[in-house]
Amino acid sequence: MTANGAWIPDVIIPSENCPNVPGGGIGGEMLYSCSEILENREIRSNQVSPDLLVFGNDDFGNALCIGLHGPRHGKVYFWDHENDVIGALEIGMDVALGNTRQNEYFVADSLVEFITLYKNADSD
């Protein structure tokens, strides 16, 4: 990671706080620096919807995104790499087409609400 980002160890968003995200909660986040946000915007431009901006990731290659405009403006989403139809098509995998953005899951109405969802990983 380059300067000014943040790694958030030992915290999770429990599954009950993000019921739309498949496979349970969200944990092991890295929040990007400004330069990393710009770099990831270029890298993920064909994967993440154009109205979302990636601002971090988890330990498993999934992305944290915030809506830039339209009905998703200011809302936080979890981008699941396991269901990345666009990425699969780019590497030649045979996938069923349909909703190519089916891997973007709503998490919170705002960045502030998103932050309040975190809990200490060691707490019950």
Q: What pTM, to 2 d.p., does this model score?
A: 0.77
Both tokens assigned to 43: 């890298």
Q: Of 35, 36, 17, 34, which Cα lies nearest the Cα of 25?
A: 17
Split at pLDDT 50, 70, 90, the class of 45 is: confident
Band of residue 80 on the pLDDT scale cut at 50, 70, 90 = confident
Q: Measuring CA to CA, which residue among 121, 120, 101, 107 is closest to residue 55?
A: 107
- Order of strands, sheet of 6-13, starting from the edge strand that comes earlier in the sequence: 104-108, 76-79, 63-67, 52-57, 26-31, 6-13, 119-120
Q: What is the pLDDT at residue 1?
A: 42
Domain locations along the chain: 6-120
DSSP state of 70: G
Please report the pLDDT score of residue 53 as a whole number: 93
Contact 30, 38 (CB under 8 A): no
Nearest to 64 by CA among 2, 5, 4: 5
Confidence (pLDDT) at 2: 45
- Is the model more confident about 119 or about 90? 119
Those residues whose C-beta lies under 8 Å from the C-beta of residue 16, and which sit 6 or more positions away, are none
CA–CA distance from 69 to each of 49, 74, 75, 110 (Å)? 11, 8, 10, 13
- Asked: is 6-120 a CATH 3.40.50 domain? The reply is no
